[in-house]
Homo-oligomer: A and B are copies of this chain.
């Protein structure tokens, strides 16, 4: 809970969020002021969901045009791609919001972020093991069904 003094090291802001793999962006940095409908097209999320993410604190600090419309950056796109990955693991949104909060709080939260991701990692491995298990059962049954019939389209 106690916030330490900011470290004097001149680390660039990007380091804090932990740069993602070098994904290509629709537009180069500097021209990256995407409207919400562009982000919809790039991410597959709906505009509703994007606004909702912002409301619950999962998508912080989206820039605005002078009239108040959202303008997303490449950095925002990277964040959304990461969130999407977490979402696919079945991670509850509340945990993602917690992670987003930790990112906002700065470098003091590196340890907790690491723990959170490691816990997620364990969940992912468990899910993969479950799926592998299920795959075996499915294959068993599929083979059974395939074997009981005269192989419709063979040859």
- The quantity of this chain's copies bound in the complex is 2
Q: Which residue of B lies closest to A113 (CB)?
A: B145
Q: What CA separation (Å) do A5 and B148 show in the bound complex?
A: 17
Number of chain A interface residues as a range: 35 or more
A interface SS class: helix
**Contact sample, A vs B, 16 pairs, CB 8 Å cutoff:** A15-B148, A18-B140, A18-B144, A20-B137, A85-B130, A89-B134, A110-B145, A110-B149, A111-B145, A117-B138, A121-B139, A121-B142, A124-B134, A128-B131, A128-B135, A131-B131
Cross-chain contact A131 with B120 (CB below 8 angstroms):
no
Q: Which residue of B lies closest to A16 (CB)?
A: B148
Q: Which residues of B contact A133 (CB under 8 A)?
A: 85
